[in-house]
Amino acid sequence: MEETAQNGADEIKPVSDTLLVLSKDTNKIEMVKGVDKDGNLQKFPPNEMQESGQLIRVDKHGDLFSNFFSNFYRQLKNPSHFNFFKVSEYDAVNTAKDLQQYVDQASLEEKEKLKEYEVLPKNTNPSKNQNTMENNTETQEYRFQPEQIDWKTMEKFGLNQEKLEKLNAMDPLLRGFKTNTLIPITINLGTAVSKMDVRLSLQTADNGEVAVNLHGIRKEPNYNLKFLGHEFTDEDKKNLKESGNMGRVVDLVNPRTDEIIPSVISRDRLTNELVAYRAEYIKIPDEIKGIKLDDHQKQTLLEGRPLYLEGMTSKKGELFDATVQFNADKRYVEFIFNNNQSQQQSQSNQQGQKNDGEAPSVFRGKELDDAQYDKFKAGQTVYIDGLTDSKGKAYQGYITFNQETSKTDFSFTNPNKMKEKAQPSKDHKTQKAVNSDGKTNEATKNIKEPLESKQQQPANKHQEAQQKKPTRSKGRKM
């Protein structure tokens, strides 16, 4: 039964919940009015409350409140600067005053107890987040069990449990994810047989059974069509094509329930399928490769936007810089290295060359310092570190600018050292001089056969005889 309250005009109206906020900076309890367009919290002291219209009014039902609060929390610029408490609209003013009195007198240990009553964004109903509205299954060990899979259907695709295990596909499937790689399948229709590569996933159907989803490869998404009610802007299309992530949170419509769901959108880079993920389920780590994220950086990632981080540390202990962004398909924060290394190198070359053969000043996202660039444009080999591959692993190597082709040659080892190693040793110098360069070795000058490796003297009696035999001078007939 809906709780009600009676005002001065004897009008009966439903009572909703509202929010109180404790500012960690001011230690003041205030009433929450909303969030402005810049993400700043709108609030006012309880003694300034004139009418309930100033307050946020939230439906008391659990799921609806949790969905509201998650969206509300996401819009704030610095949500971690505040503690929020859900109270009845009817008791809000008195509760705020009592809470302020408690905060003013409480010790640090007692204030810690307030966290037991604080409201935080929560995943209230992850079972609703299926298909492109997938839930974050990282919070659970396994979503499915092998015996739940329809193996008869799998057999029609030429698959079984043993084959999927060999392809390392079982673990992501059971966790509720798509397979990490493309899986070759065969579809036998009797009169026709079709072979294709797909990503597989599992989904609980309406009847409770576990269905197999095939995610086939497409040339590219159709950006001209609405995606779950969202119409792509030119910027959306550009971001999805280049980085694979749209870069912002938008309202999508669940086609089954018509529920409005703030979500991020990414492109599956293996299949070109568009994938959406609820914004309220996004989880941002406190630290990425040794860099502790502040509130502003976390908020940037929560909003789906890219974040450039400098000075991260790889597993090898080497520093590197990269852009990070939440990916709706992978469901975690990923590294983005200008799409891919080859494109990045091409763009860097184009930027530096300006179509006039000039050496580029940037290689694979790494800018050369003045000393490096002077050597590089002069055609000398330059050592460069701080490079990062597509999997986030740091590496280093040597680059040389080919002035004839206006291209940059890269090698993991110093090509100058390689040339030095390629020079023949003293043992091989005689062989190279005689066989390749047409020079004469006094000890073998009469031997007709090519010299063997390391050979500097006649190798057998036959060659000794040849060497001792005097050569005839070739005179000209008169």
Mean pLDDT rounded to a whole number for the chain? 76
Is the pLDDT at 355 greater than 50? The verdict is no
Mean pLDDT of 158-178: 88
Quick one: how far is CA 79 from the chain centroid?
Answer: 24
Predicted pLDDT at 261: 92
Higher-confidence residue of 433 and 275: namely: 275
CB 361 within 8 A of CB 367: yes
CB 282 within 8 A of CB 302: yes
Q: Minimum mean pLDDT among 63-77, 125-139, 314-328, 407-421: which range?
A: 125-139
Residue keyed to tokens 């390689």: 418
Residue 236 DSSP code: H
Contacts (Cβ under 8 Å, ≥6 apart) of 195: 184, 185, 186, 187
Q: Name the range with the highest mean pLDDT among 203-207, 284-288, 391-395.
A: 284-288
Contacts (Cβ under 8 Å, ≥6 apart) of 394: 314, 316, 318, 319, 320, 385, 386, 387, 388
Distance from C-alpha of 350 to C-alpha of 346, rounded to nearest angstrom = 6
The SS3 assignment for 172 reads: helix
- Binned at pLDDT 50, 70 and 90, residue 75 comes out as confident
Predicted pLDDT at 340: 42
Predicted pLDDT at 11: 41
- Residue-wise pLDDT for 327-342, tens only, equals 999 889 999 876 443 3
Contacts (Cβ under 8 Å, ≥6 apart) of 118: 83, 84, 85
Is the pLDDT at 41 greater than 80? The verdict is yes
Is the pLDDT at 212 greater than 60? The verdict is yes
Q: Residue 184 — φ and ψ, nearest 5°?
A: -75, 130
- CB burial string 205-230: b at 16+ within 10 A, e below: eeeeebebeebeeeeebebeeebbeb
Higher-confidence residue of 462 and 216: namely: 216
Predicted pLDDT at 426: 52
Is the pLDDT at 263 greater than 90? The verdict is yes
Is the pLDDT at 59 greater than 80? The verdict is no
Is the pLDDT at 2 greater than 80? The verdict is no
The SS3 assignment for 398 reads: strand
**Global model pTM greater than 0.75:** no
CB 125 within 8 A of CB 154: no
Q: What is the DSSP string of 21-47?
A: EEETTT--EEEEEEE-TTSPEEEE-GG
Mean pLDDT of 348-352: 39
The SS3 assignment for 74 reads: helix
Q: Minimum mean pLDDT among 41-55, 302-316, 459-473: which range?
A: 459-473
Alpha helices in 243-280, H assignment, sequence order: none
- Binned at pLDDT 50, 70 and 90, residue 379 comes out as confident
Predicted pLDDT at 228: 93
Predicted pLDDT at 277: 93
Q: What is the dihedral of CA 316, 318, 319, 321, to 10 degrees?
A: -60
| Backbone φ/ψ region at 335: left (φ over 0), alpha (ψ -120 to 50), beta | beta
3-state secondary structure 310-352: EEEECCCCCEEEEEEEEECCCCEEEEECCCCHHHHHHHHHHHH
124: amino acid identity, one letter: T
Residue keyed to tokens 């060990």: 141
Residue keyed to tokens 């966290």: 115
461: amino acid identity, one letter: K
Higher-confidence residue of 418 and 272: namely: 272
Is the pLDDT at 348 greater than 50? The verdict is no
User: What does the block give as tokens for 457?
Assistant: 């003297």
Alpha carbon distances (Å) from 167 to 170, 182, 201, 272, 405: 8, 10, 14, 21, 43
Distance from C-alpha of 273 to C-alpha of 134, rounded to nearest angstrom = 14
Q: What angle do CA 395, 398, 400 make, to 5 degrees?
A: 140
Higher-confidence residue of 375 and 403: namely: 375
Predicted pLDDT at 78: 75
Distance from C-alpha of 226 to C-alpha of 263, rounded to nearest angstrom = 14
Q: Minimum mean pLDDT among 82-91, 153-162, 264-273: which range?
A: 82-91
Is the pLDDT at 74 greater than 60? The verdict is yes
Mean pLDDT of 41-66: 70
Alpha helices in 41-190, H assignment, sequence order: 62-75, 92-105, 108-113, 151-156, 161-166, 170-174
Q: Minimum mean pLDDT among 100-114, 136-150, 263-277: which range?
A: 136-150
CB 136 within 8 A of CB 105: no
Predicted pLDDT at 128: 35
Residue keyed to tokens 């009469």: 446
